[in-house]
Structure 1
Amino acid sequence: MEESLPAEGSPPMEESLPAEGSPPMEESLPAFSFLAQLFQCSSSCVTNVLLTFIHVLHELWFKDIMTTVPSREKNLTSLPSSFQMYRNCRMIIDCTDVEIATPSSMDLQKHTYSKYRGMHSFKILLGVAPNAVITYCSKLYPGSVSDKAIVTKSGILEVFRSGDLILADKGFLIRDIVPEGVSVNIPPFLNHGRLTKSEVKLTKDIARTRIHVERANARLKEFKILRFIPHTLRSNADIVVQLCCALVNLQNPLSKEVAVNLDN
């Protein structure tokens, strides 16, 4: 059974940013003026066409395809060999940052500045299935928000059922908030400056499985539009990022083992 994700119109979290005045998109992006001259139309016409296509593709490739998370049983049909120890894994989760233009408001700067990254950013929570397909992409959150807060506010926990396993990094201290019967596996913390042999093995096992979500993050960052989000794109940043996630899934499989199976 596949679980539906929370509705797009869910209430915004407390840390969501208020709208900030900025010039129209066509006034700040030179490419729009070039396209307007090339096609002999106004810059606002170019903007409308671009945003229309972004919204249409988001509707087709994200909302129609990526608003359900494959069940644990579905994952088993394409489970890589590296997950034999984690056959009940439903999802590997991780957060990634997208740099944004520095807000003019000091109050907004406080919310968007990430001390860890040393920049103003938005954070996205990604969920990847064992076969390295992106199965969850949250809305964007200010860079100062913790991973645990994003997990709580995004609604991702609603898709998990008893018996599911979540693989994550050390920053996801979420065992106390997951639904009953759901397990969370993160690398062990150092105990008196060292790891035991069993902890070293566990760390290596988790690292081998987490490589999929790291590859998904890396491929997502290959889209130039996500290297830096100007003020003019901020109001559409959610759907742009989610559309890019859908486009990642349309590319060649991230898992070589899955790619070989498809070729055969």
Structure 2
Amino acid sequence: MEAGAGLCTEATVPKAVHDDLKQKYSQLSTEYDNLRVDINKLKAENEQLKATLRNTPFSFSSIKCKAAQVLFFTGLTSVIFEWLLQTVKDSVEVVRGSLTLEEHLLAILMKLRLGLSNKDIAYRFNVTECDISKIMRSLLPVMSQVLKPLIKWPGKHAILKTMPKCFKAKYTCCRCIIDCTEFFINRPTNLTSRAQTYSNYKSHNTVKYLVGMSPAGAITFLSAGGGGGGRVSDKQLTAESGFYDLQEVNDEILADRGFTIIDELAVRGATLRIPHFTKGKKQLSAQEMENIKAFVEHENTH
């Protein structure tokens, strides 16, 4: 029997491989150290921002002179925000005494514009989540009633007068662009209501509304009441909304493929137009939406 038989021998790593691994280890160690420095720097900046936020309470007065910030938080210009405030001030009341009426309206618009949670908004205004919830429940229904008359169905002359150039080439008779939008709701405890509001498209319980928009971008139609449950089809919701009663001869309605309403419109002398770029697609990508938006803006300014 040979000496050393059965004993394990250490594998020898070639020098080139060893040097390569050593170099990679050195590079990774350097990158790790740099990342740790960046993390510590970001942590310090984060703490500084938190301290600044604590020492500078968020309020309407802190942004009202900054038009860009008003637009960012509310989606409105300062002039329109002031007009909206004057329009609703006699119909609403202050729910939280530490906040002004301007801040009540600002909180609601931030919720609608940015989709912020009640906790986020409460933290910004230094109030409780319960306060923000009360503001929403108190002011939103009143604002809805006060502002609802602003949604008007315009005449053909008004549509043609404000029609963007990009529509005139192919959709000269376009009266309205329609689509359905859904909003998440809590799952109802009632089984029937739960089934009626469950949306297969959103995989969630929702309420659905039919929204109509002029070629110029103004909201001209909104289905009434609670809209429909997420289970209702676009076709059924359109029929129940009273939208067909507004149609006139030679009207063109733009919609996506989900609206199988050609016959219903034809009875009233109107036509359904489905833009070609939606054919064969379930939904436009975010990039395609941005491209369309950029194209429309370009056409409107040239």
Q: TM-score, normalised by structure 2?
A: 0.48
The corresponding residue for 2:245 is 158
Give the C-alpha shift of residue 257 in structure 1. 4.9
The residue that corresponds to 2:230 in the other structure is 143
**How many angstroms does 1:46 deviate by?**
7.3
- For 1:186, the aligned partner's letter is I
Identical-residue share of aligned pairs (%): 28
Q: Aligned match of 1:82 in 155, 166, 180?
A: 166
1:71 corresponds, among 132, 143, 155, to 155
* Matched residue, 2:218: 133
Deviation at 1:59, TM superposition (A): 3.0
Pick from 140, 161, 166 the counterpart of residue 54 of structure 1. 140
SS in 1 for 2:177: strand
Q: How far 1:48 moved relative to its partner?
A: 6.3
Q: What is the identity, as a one-letter code, of the residue corresponding to 2:269?
A: G
Equivalent residue for 1:182, pick from 255, 270, 273 = 270
Partner Cα distance (2:205, 2:127) in 1? 36
SS in 1 for 2:263: coil
CA distance in structure 2 between the aligned counterparts of 1:128 and 1:155, rounded to whole angstroms? 15
1:113 paired residue number: 198
Conserved? CA contact 2:166–2:299, under 8 Å: no
Residue segments in structure 1 that go unaligned for 5+ positions in a row: 1-28, 188-202, 219-253
User: 2:183 is paired with a residue of what secondary structure?
Assistant: strand
Structure 2 counterparts to residues 1-264 of structure 1, below 5 A: 50-60=136-146, 62-66=147-151, 68-83=152-167, 84-139=169-224, 140-178=227-265, 179-186=267-274, 203-204=276-277, 256-257=297-298, 260=301
CA 1:145–1:53: 2 relative to 1, 3 Å: same
Report the AA paired with residue 143 of structure 2: L
Q: Which amino acid aligns with 2:182?
A: D
Whether contact under 8 Å (1:78, 1:258) holds in the other structure is no
Question: CA 1:108/1:39 → structure 2, altered by over 3 Å: closer, same or farther?
Answer: closer
Q: Is the CA contact 2:118–2:133 (under 8 Å) kept in the aligned structure 1? A: no
Q: 1:82 to 1:177 in 2, by over 3 A?
A: same
Residue 55 of structure 1 aligns to which amino acid in structure 2?
A: P
SS at match of 1:69: coil
Aligned equivalents of 2:172 and 2:132: distance in 1? 48
- In the TM superposition, residue 30 of structure 1 has moved relative to its aligned partner by 7.2
Tell me the CA shift for residue 157 of structure 1.
1.1
Superposition deviation, residue 258 in structure 1:
7.9
Between structures 1 and 2, the one with greater helix share: 2
TM-score if structure 1 supplies the norm length? 0.54
Q: Deviation per CA, 1:169-223, whole angstroms, max 9, x where unpaired?
A: 1111112222421111125xxxxxxxxxxxxxxx13x78xxx9xx99xx9xxxxx
Please tell me whether the aligned partners of residues 165 and 299 of structure 2 are also in contact (alpha carbons under 8 angstroms): no
Which secondary structure does the structure 2 equivalent of 1:124 belong to? strand
State the shift of 1:77 in Å: 1.1
Please provide the CA RMSD for this pair: 3.8
Number of residue pairs matched?
Answer: 174
Deviations 1:75-111 (A, max 9, x none): 1112112212111100011112212111122222211
After superposing the two structures, state which structure 1 stretch, 130-139 or 91-100, moved more: 130-139
Question: In 2, are the aligned partners of 1:131 and 1:258 still within 8 Å (CA)?
Answer: no
Matches of 2:216 and 2:142 in 1, distance apart?
27
Contact 2:247 2:268 in 1 (8 A): no
Give the distance between the partners of 1:257 and 1:74, measured in 2 at CA: 22
Q: Which amino acid aligns with 2:297?
A: K
Larger radius of gyration: 2
Q: Is contact 1:160-1:182 (8 Å) kept?
A: yes
Q: Which has the higher contact order (CA 8 A, sep 6+)?
A: 1
Would you say the 8 A contact 1:80–1:257 is kept in 2? no
Task: Describe the shift of the 1:258–1:131 C-alpha distance in structure 2 as closer, same or farther (beyond 3 A).
Answer: farther
